[in-house]
Structure 1
Amino acid sequence: MIYPTRNCRMAHAMPRGWSHARNSYCPPCWDCWKSNAERFNRNLLLISSQSLLIKISSMTAETRNRFPEERRIATVLFADVHGFTPLAEQLDYETVSDLVKGIWLSLDKIIEQHNGYIDKHLGDGIMAIWGAPFAGDNDAVEAVSAGLELVKALDEWCATTRIPGAERLKLRVGINSGPVFAAYIGTRNEYTVIGDTVNVAARLEQIAEPSTVVIGENTLRMVQGSFRVKALDPTHVKGKAEAVQPYRVEGRLINPGRIRYQSADSLVTNMVGREDELEKLKQIYDRVFENTKPVMALVVGEVGIGKSRLLMEFSNHLEALGDDIHILSSRGLAQAARIPFYLWRVLLRNRFGVRDDDAVTLANEQWQQGIESVWESDQTASKIEATQVLGEMIGLSGNLNPSPEQLQRIFYLTRELLRQMGKRKRLILLLDDLQWADRESLQLLTYLLTTEIPPLQMLIASAARPEFLKLQPHWHNLARVITLQPLEFTPAMVKKAYPNLHNLPDSILEEMALRAEGNPYFLEEIVKSLIKAGLLSENIPTEELRSRMLAQIPESLRATLQARLDNLSREARAVALLASVVGRVFWVGAVMAQARAAPLPGTNPNFNAPEAVIDRFIQEGLRQLVRAELAFPRSGSRFSQEQEYIFKNSYLRDVAYSLIPNRNRALYHKAVADWLRAKTDPAFQSMALEHEQSARQSAKINTGTLSLPS
């Protein structure tokens, strides 16, 4: 079958499994690949629903060799079956062969299910790669998740096999992330990756105890907030002057915090200039458990000043300590500011695994089991009351307007629930964006901070914009306020924050620091804009680079974000605008609903495509938006069948929304309202009402020329 590509006038033979109806770019086209590398990678992933290994092996040898030799960021996993050699010495060769085949038939599929590429089998060992030849949005998390499942899967397989002695076999896993060189190597021309990252991963596997997963420091940075880890003693690796710091993964976190994704352009960031503020948080933590009531630290600062990053680094610090702690997190949302107890609703539902669209019976069972797991058995009466009353608070019964008497019981029982949880582990709450928290959530927070009997030891690390304290100054007396001021960036700080920029001259770094205006988010967006424009990788004279840079860097954050939105593909830009109508947090279904009900942003108003085409358009745009790090997938979606996303920053959402004409806003808001109306949860009906009001307001602003559809 021969088809021309969209961006190339040549025609090419398609590899097996290729569906032209679903894909617009052909893999064999080298010129097409060079100009559309990211689209090429994504479209190859759409060839079939089979594993990545099958996708690659199904292509012709000619197609495989089209993959370029390149430097990439990858996560490498080594696994070894501990106890295999002494067992093999006692078995017949054919039995050993059956043993090896059985193990890898069971374990290989786990790697493939987590989008890993099996590089090679090494007898009783295996090497797998994430990030090459294709990069995913969350490669390191997928690799560590696969490692944990591999350990468990081998135990289960050995318990069921009839091969004598197999029950003694255990898996050791080592994982490391970093730069690699991907290429076809050897007489067989096999695709693999090489480099220091691979060597360290192999060493980490060697020091891992049986049935454990050990990761390197680079991997830790990419997965922090998703797993419980414990620091191990540093180890030396052949060829490396400095010792390597390993970490043992002890399990997944029940309620993952914010995940920091590795940039598609290998952009690594470090927090700089906030050492004093981080030290203050550490000091508060060290003394908090001497108190009989919770202690609250409140980080205050403008948009993009680094509040969330500081909380993330503090959370990472606590996890690395290895203390017996339990971190729960939640955040205020502008679109949920009128939903009573939304802050606590999200926190407790995530903690006990209750989704907003679970069937009533399932949700109640999950909630009851969660309460049972933390409540002492001799307090049956209070446990039963907490199950009922707090179940209403988190929306299981739909009662969103409690009476004053019910409020007091909610306050008391929530405190008692937290106290029960705090008996087993040190309890830490991370509450972000309090400026958008609902009234009832803040009342409950006040109650917790002012009630001393019975004792409740807990740290609440929170963040808010300055208007939070301006409108409610009494929080100065309830919390230990840490105010973040704009940073005085220097070239040295810029290089420390972005190690990739260490080769740039100080004159360029000074200009970047000046344009950032002391705001870390400004600086990050400036750096990414320059990388996207290719100004940080070209070997051109400093003065020419400086003049071009002055023309490229936007004057303000709005210009920076608008430029980033304008530089997105048509699909990603359209999704960003549609998602901004929903709010900072948005769902795929809500974006799809708008795309089906009104013209897509950036397209002809008369454009009319089948729903299947529109759906693929939106999914592709969403993938590119995540790859560009302008939005992130969230854990614990409110709807089990709907992936939940969040804009990287509320200001980014505002800029995207400002680009939409009023006549289109009205249609989009109406579509979102209809989508929310179809949900059964009462909490979302108030959100639907707000979108209907926004639709009417937008229609009115449009000089009365638009009539809303019924």
Structure 2
Amino acid sequence: MPRVGPTTPLVAKEETRRLRSYLPALVLERLTTAHGPETPGTEHRFGAAALFADISGFTSMSEALAATGKGGSEEMTELLNDYFGTMVALVDAYGGSVTTFGGDALTAVFPYRGHSVRAIRRAVRCANDMQLEMGRYQMIPTSAGPFSLAFKAGLAAGPVLLTTIGDERLRFEPVIAGTSIDGCVAAEHHASPGTIVLHPSIAATIAGVHASPLEGGFAAVEPFLGRRRPTSGSSIGSLDARAVDASTVRAYMHPSVAVAIESGHGRYLNEHRRVTAVFTAFDGPDPTRRAAGAELQRVLSPALDAVTETGGHLLQVDTGDKGDTFIVLFGAPVAHGDDERRALTFALRLREVLPDARIGVCCGAMFCGEVGGDSRRTYTTIGDPMNVAARLMQRANRGVTLVAGSSEEAVHGTVRVTPVDALTVKGRSQPVRPLSIAGPTPRSGDTPPAGEIVGRRSERERLRRRIDGAVRGRGRTVVITGPAGIGKSRLVEDAIATAVQHGLAVHRDWCRSTTTATPYASIRGLVGSLLGLEEGSVPDERRVRNAVAGIDAGLGPRSPLLGPVLGIAISDTDVTRGITGDLRRELLDALMLDIVAHRAERGPLMLCVEDCHWLDPSSGHLVSALSEGLSGMAILLLLTARAVSEADPRGQVPTPPTMPHAETIPLPPLDDRDSLRLARATVRRAFGTVPHSKSYLDWLVERADGNPFFLEETVHLLRDRDIDPGEPTAG
């Protein structure tokens, strides 16, 4: 069966319809006449009734079902989509559009379209019918026991702003804001489980609805005795299936989610896994003011750059009268093996670009996957760590980042922290004891500290020999290959520590799944490091010219060739003017070889590029050119990649470049002896003790099947659920 990828021109009708459901009907309507995504900052303003519906009970259900294994994830998926499918269908039937999902909550708007009172009535009746449907969810039988769900909702009416933020490197994200959205959220805060509350903006406008007055002009709606069959169809139902092409919709999605759906592997998105959530509160523009959309894009652009650079996933952006927030995930939908560190690095970057932001970070096991109905769905996460991260964000002062749930090695290997007072979180029996980030961990030579490594004796020895060869001027390329979680990054950390001890200067970069279509994005940081440019900064033409000339004056006239690599425009010189196409690329290859050769004359180098299965083609070509030209230089080019034949279960198929001059070091699974050593060390770090029960450790070893990351994640999952390995039942 041929692989279906993000550039496949023809996608099955069902997959196209499924892709389109990732965008609200309001957005699809506006894209029917557009040729691609809307320009960030574009504004659409209209009046609408808004409904915010929240459900409680899914978080505890998710945690219980996670303990039952893969079957629990499938069961959770079925239950979530039964509930959300019902609610989305009701919104559609009453002429509304589900705009956002917030974990186990949803927001819907009902545009006036010339009749404000009718739209408000449809929204109220929709909320009422949602409440009537809750009888089906009062006692849900599951493999982990019975559970009940509770519903509450708030409604309001008024102006709405629909805009777009993002860019083509990350993705585009629709944002809906305005007094109508603020009002329905405020009304929901006045609601108790099983009730619907009207905001003062509509409490006095609905005839024939019995409501009890509440403080502040809010009113609690009494349930209707019966339902009235909806008479208004959803706007999404009238949209031409061909009106918005798949490539446009893909631009609003994480690429791995889009590929999974297009290739028919969407079911693999649904699972319980360890994820780090970063919640950020920031000062955004007033949505009622002119050009608020463009201002929101301007404020968030540096943060979006940080998301791209650290490999995170922008889950959503929310605006409101009580503050603006955005949520970024690390570990879902793509896991990198060092997602906790990436999240903490991202938090550090946020403090630079949004110095007054309040940030909450929490890591733990969550349900990840698709939720929604036929016409509207999204990729989201549900679990206690989301609640904790939100609570930490609320607790944090301006300019403060609070962290909970991250492993000790991730924290102390990335940031300096100080303890703060414990806080209570709804639904948790024990208080959370967060840490406050004081700054980055000091590093010698800007190289990350080597983490503990178990086994890999022959592989470490091979790398030590190659490092010694680089010192002696015998340049080589080494590619470490293996499946996700097998320990490639940990072996790289160990090699870097050895290289630094031998006097090598280390320059390092990571490829990212979100930038495979952006030329040279995979090695932009590496090239900037070789030129001595400040990490994370966008260099200007003068600095680049000076940096190249500083390496060797004779290279200066060729500096414009580096413009595409660094993502900036550099005016041509007499040497480069008029040169295009293959010849320009060959000159760029030669320039990069000259740069690394001159740097190696000052001292031996290690050039490290990780996750090369995500290399963009332009970066792949340049890396191959470097690999071919290293002979006789004091340079070790160290790459990591998943095995070429390894198909990611979420539909993405890694394709690392072929390096004919490279030595490959494949990483097999750990043997049982090394797995047992790792299990003991991981349990000791997580719990402060090693269990007396050998069966407990044997169970960990068997479950991990030689994969270090899976073994450590299993221990962290047990820690998050307060399952003590020292208890007799733990074995």
TM-score, structure 2 as length reference: 0.38
TM-score, structure 1 as length reference: 0.39
Give the structure with the higher percent strand: 2
Higher relative contact order (CA 8 A, sep 6+): 2
Give the structure with the higher percent helix: 1
